[in-house]
């Protein structure tokens, strides 16, 4: 009798454990990032109206949203388009200037694993879309590292796949997307202690451990996204800025250090109260080296003004230091500058 009871208890325990694992997997590995209901609604609209019409109606209701909100909503649209239309959904996403739609579709494509990497690379390299070729490659990098969750082995596999692109700028953009996704998933706690971020023995980990010819893309992601995700959660700005500066200063290679300060500029651009003057003054305080300093300033301008579109050019540049005024208004030059 006792044996039967024990067997039953063990069986129930196993069922509960399996159920918990399935539940956790669905929550932790949710490709909709909490937008499951919206994805389902959009799938219904696509079936009822067709992909182009459903996408048009949905996008018309997105006017006035911030960059982050727009990206998030179009991310859900991209997922729905791919689920319903496959590769044609990816192509449909190319009509949008925001990369969110393509990023969402690419994650679904990666999970589906029916579209060869070479076909994705060809789509990005064709430039047949309203957003940049590099942004397309960046989105594929995100998809490649999706579900890596702190695994260096999985991150290295994603970086290796990024090598399918024919030119180094595309490969770098793809690797930045993979590194960014890895940091976003790795640092998923509420408010980690500043001293436990990364590897206690190596503050520049994982960038010093990855297998790549473009380590600079990782250093950009380390300062721009690793700290972007975790650094503003409950810690004073001055403490985070000092830790970030110290980490970048550890880098010996000049180009890689410059990439790290590029990332600092991105991090600073997210401070709502910062205009060009604030960016300029903070970057100058962070480093006296000319190249990293300018990288920090230019990157802050690019991300706050061009990519996030928080202000018009005239408003944004009105408080620029005299030496930066021409640089600030030279939108074309800044838009095409390398990030890493």
Residue 190, C-beta contacts closer than 8 angstroms, at least 6 positions apart? 233
Whether cis (ω within 30° of 0) applies to the bond prior to 64 is no
Per-residue pLDDT band at 39 (split at 50, 70, 90): very high
| Minimum mean pLDDT range among 42-46, 68-72, 283-287 | 68-72
* CA–CA separation, 280 and 319 (whole Å): 10
| Cα–Cα nearest to 180, from 96, 124, 99, 62 | 99
Q: Is 147 left (phi over 0), alpha (psi -120 to 50) or beta?
A: left
Model pTM score: 0.77
Are 195 and 325 within one domain?
yes
CB 178 within 8 A of CB 214: no
Are 212 and 310 within one domain?
yes
Q: Given a cut of 60, is residue 20 above it in pLDDT? A: no
Query: Residue 34: what pLDDT?
Result: 65
Are 182 and 199 within one domain?
no
Q: Is 104 exposed, middle or buried (0-12, 13-18, 19+ CB in 10 A)?
A: buried
Per-residue pLDDT band at 340 (split at 50, 70, 90): low
| Minimum mean pLDDT range among 12-16, 139-143, 315-319 | 12-16
| Cα–Cα nearest to 298, from 274, 264, 272 | 264
Give 55-60 contacts, CB < 8 A, sequence gap 24+: 55/81, 55/92, 55/95, 55/96, 55/101, 59/96
The total number of structural domains in the chain stands at: 3
Are 58 and 86 within one domain?
yes
In this predicted model, which residue has the larger pLDDT, 137 or 319? 137
Q: Alpha carbon 209 to chain centroid distance?
A: 20
Query: Residue 130: what pLDDT?
Result: 56
Are 339 and 194 within one domain?
yes
* CA–CA separation, 263 and 267 (whole Å): 6
212-235 average pLDDT score: 76
Are 232 and 338 within one domain?
yes
Are 194 and 325 within one domain?
yes
Are 197 and 181 within one domain?
no
* Full domain range(s) for residue 160: 131-186
Q: Is position 204 within any domain?
A: yes
Task: Give the helix ranges, DSSP H, for 231-307.
Answer: 237-249, 254-269, 276-286, 290-301
Average pLDDT, the chain: 76
* CA–CA separation, 144 and 161 (whole Å): 8
Q: Is position 100 within any domain?
A: yes
Note the pLDDT tens digit of each residue in 243-269.
889 889 999 999 999 999 999 998 888
Going from the C-alpha of 109 to that of each of 59, 73, 92, 116, the distances in angstroms are 22, 18, 14, 9
Query: Residue 115: what pLDDT?
Result: 83
Are 100 and 238 within one domain?
no
Q: Is position 141 within any domain?
A: yes
Q: Tell me the percentage of the chain whose pLDDT exceeds 70.
A: 70
CB 134 within 8 A of CB 122: no
Are 282 and 329 within one domain?
yes
Residue showing tokens 């980990």: 205
Per-residue pLDDT band at 22 (split at 50, 70, 90): very low
135-155 average pLDDT score: 86
Residue 171, C-beta contacts closer than 8 angstroms, at least 6 positions apart? 137, 162, 163, 165, 214
What DSSP string describes 28-69?
Answer: HT-TTTT-HHHHHHHHHHHHHH-HHHHHHHHHHTTTT--HHH
Query: Residue 129: what pLDDT?
Result: 57
Give 199-202 contacts, CB < 8 A, sequence gap 24+: none
Are 219 and 332 within one domain?
yes
Q: Is position 300 within any domain?
A: yes
Q: Which of 42-56, 63-77, 206-220, 233-247 reaches the highest mean pLDDT? A: 42-56
Q: Given a cut of 80, is residue 96 above it in pLDDT? A: no
């Amino acid at each position: 009798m006792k044996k039967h009871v024990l067997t039953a208890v063990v069986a129930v325990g196993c069922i509960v454990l399996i159920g918990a694992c399935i539940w956790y997997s669905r929550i932790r590995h949710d490709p909709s990032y909490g937008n499951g209901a919206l994805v389902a609604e959009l799938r219904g609209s696509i079936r009822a109206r067709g992909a182009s019409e459903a996408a048009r109606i949905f996008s018309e209701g997105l006017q006035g949203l911030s960059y982050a909100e727009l990206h998030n909503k179009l991310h859900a649209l991209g997922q729905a388009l791919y689920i319903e239309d496959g590769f044609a959904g990816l192509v449909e996403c190319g009509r949008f200037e925001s990369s969110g739609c393509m990023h969402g579709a690419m994650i679904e494509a990666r999970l589906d694993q029916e579209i060869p990497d070479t076909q994705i690379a060809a789509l990005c390299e064709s430039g047949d879309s309203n957003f940049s070729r590099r942004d397309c490659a960046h989105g594929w990098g995100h998809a490649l590292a999706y579900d890596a969750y702190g695994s260096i082995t999985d991150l290295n596999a994603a970086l290796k796949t990024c090598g399918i692109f024919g030119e180094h700028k595309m490969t770098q953009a793809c690797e930045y997307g993979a590194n960014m996704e890895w940091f976003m998933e790795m640092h998923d706690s509420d408010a980690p202690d500043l001293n436990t971020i990364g590897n206690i023995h190596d503050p520049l980990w994982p960038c010093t451990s990855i297998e790549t010819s473009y380590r600079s893309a990782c250093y950009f992601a380390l300062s721009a996204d690793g700290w972007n995700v975790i650094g503003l959660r409950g810690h004073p700005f001055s403490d985070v800025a000092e830790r970030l500066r110290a980490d970048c200063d550890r880098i010996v290679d000049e180009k890689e250090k410059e990439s790290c300060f590029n990332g600092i500029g991105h991090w600073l651009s997210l401070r709502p109260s910062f205009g060009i003057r604030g960016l300029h003054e903070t970057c100058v305080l962070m480093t006296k080296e000319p190249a990293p300093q300018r990288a920090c300033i230019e990157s802050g301008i690019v991300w706050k003004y061009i990519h996030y579109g928080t202000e018009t050019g005239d408003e944004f540049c009105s408080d620029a230091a005299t030496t930066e005024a021409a640089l600030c208004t030279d939108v074309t030059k800044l838009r095409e500058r390398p990030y890493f």
